[in-house]
Structure 1
Amino acid sequence: MSSTPLPSVIVFDVNETLLDIETLAPLFARLFGDENILREWFAQLVLYSQAMTLSSLYTPFGELGVGALKMTADIHKITLTDQDINEFKQLMSEMPAHPDAMPALTKLRDAGFRLVTLTNSASSASPTPLEKAGLSAFFERSFSVETVEKFKPAPETYQMVAKALSVETSDLCLVACHLWDTIGAQAAGCQGAFLTRPHNAMLPAVNVPTPDVTASDLVTLSDQIIDKYQI
């Protein structure tokens, strides 16, 4: 093990990092005739969430998600019904955990790290998506960007977590499968652990922060975090 200053709190992104959005693929296949439109929709959702923050505007992530679905349907000349929208909302609230999530969280918890989540999604009544996925018991706190009304990767989102936990941003390590998220976290002073799930990869360009830890599955990523940071 190294003597690298530790982040004592591991902050997990939720959507796609812990919960599997690919379970929405059959709906997109039915609505659009192509399950890959799921990725187009998700890219639009991320783009416009960040555009709202850069424009000093805020709309809850779930509402943006529905709006992005309607926009994607308009682009592809697809007519959505109220039933389609309701099915989409239901599926979004019931995404299962990735198979590697529970064993990875168990490793980190047993190693003594504090675990929290930080999501662009708004908070919801119990049972929450994490409760439905069987993961909520691992986390001492679940944070939503709705508190600051800015979406990740705005620095205020990571700073909010540090302030609420009475730690410095350098005490946080963000785990995410979106490089834009680790970029934001590292720029705010956190450590960054990048999970290269399918449809996610490094961005080889000047001044893009290199994640402190990178792996293709959560269990390996957790092992690397444990090995890198003594606690």
Structure 2
Amino acid sequence: MPDRTDFSTIVFDVNETLLDIATLEPFFDRVFGNAAVLREWFPELILYSQTVTLSGLYAPFGDLAGGVLRMVGDNRNIAIQDSDVSELKSLIGSMPAHADVTPALTKLRDAGFTLVTLTNSAPSPAPTPLEKAGIAALFDHHFSVAEVGHFKPHPSTYQMVADRLGVDVSSLCMVACHIWDTIGAQSVGCRGAFIARPHNSILHVPGVPEPDYTSHDLAKLADQIIQAQKLTE
């Protein structure tokens, strides 16, 4: 853990970091007869979001989610219906928050940090997924990569947040359960905080930045950040 903190804004990933994608398992169990296919579909969704960005392309995250669902279905010789795609999109927009989210956000707000979200998902009409989860009001701002037309971890996504807030990227700390997200943020000068949700681990490779903070519990991760801030007071 670093011995000090010089950032004032904490940027949260949304899907899986704050909202529990495990609640999608019954859908995958119904469609594929195997709830574990969720863990095939979601990494593929991330892979192809990054692929379109590297290729200079862009499509809304929800459209990619449906397309990847159909692709996984083709791979498994299961016909995906339009109604299946619609159901998945609806479920994605209604995922609950993890139990440790509200306590962690409350601690960080009380400690004086600015809290914002940065999601690969496109903006949605009210009630938004975070509003449905009951945590939207705990944040000061909400940002979507749709504004720059690139998915995380493209550098422009993190720079966009800094620009919109009128701060330097070094004033940001990215919180995510996806190590590719913290790596991307740290590569442009942000701090990185990793929450180890199930099926997510740190990548240990020489020359690749590891998170400044890490925990299996978001409230404990918040405690680490707050304690580091106190060391500078």
* Cross-structure match for 1:80: 80
CA contact (8 A) 2:60 2:146 kept: yes
1:118 aligns with 2:145: no
What RMSD in Å do the two structures reach over aligned CA positions?
Answer: 1.3
1:229 deviates by 2.2
1:64 deviates by 0.4
Render the CA deviation track for 1:179-220: whole Å, top value 9, x for unaligned. Answer: 000000000100000011110001121211011000011011
Could you say what secondary structure the match of 2:35 adopts? Answer: coil
* Cross-structure match for 1:187: 187
Distance 1:5 1:202, change over 3 A: closer
Could you say what secondary structure the match of 2:182 adopts? Answer: helix
Unaligned runs of 5+ in 1: none
The alignment's TM-score, normalised by the length of structure 2, stands at: 0.96
* Cross-structure match for 1:69: 69
Q: Distance in 1 between matches of 2:68 and 2:227?
A: 40
Render the CA deviation track for 1:7-57: whole Å, top value 9, x for unaligned. Answer: 100000000000000100011011111111101000110000001111110
Q: Distance in 2 between matches of 1:32 and 1:3?
A: 48
Could you say what secondary structure the match of 2:225 adopts? Answer: helix
Q: Distance in 2 between matches of 1:5 and 1:74?
A: 48
1:228 aligns with 2:228: yes
The alignment's TM-score, normalised by the length of structure 1, stands at: 0.97
Output the amino acid matched with 1:44: E
* Cross-structure match for 1:55: 55
Output the amino acid matched with 2:31: L
Unaligned runs of 5+ in 2: none
Q: Distance in 2 between matches of 1:146 and 1:35?
A: 30
Q: Distance in 1 between matches of 2:23 and 2:118?
A: 21
> Map of 1:39-188 to 2, 5 A cutoff?
39-188=39-188
> Map of 1:179-218 to 2, 5 A cutoff?
179-218=179-218
Distance 1:51 1:84, change over 3 A: same
Aligned residues: 231
Output the amino acid matched with 1:99: A
1:143 deviates by 0.3
Render the CA deviation track for 1:104-148: whole Å, top value 9, x for unaligned. Answer: 100000111000000000001110000000010011110000011
Q: Distance in 2 between matches of 1:61 and 1:103?
A: 29
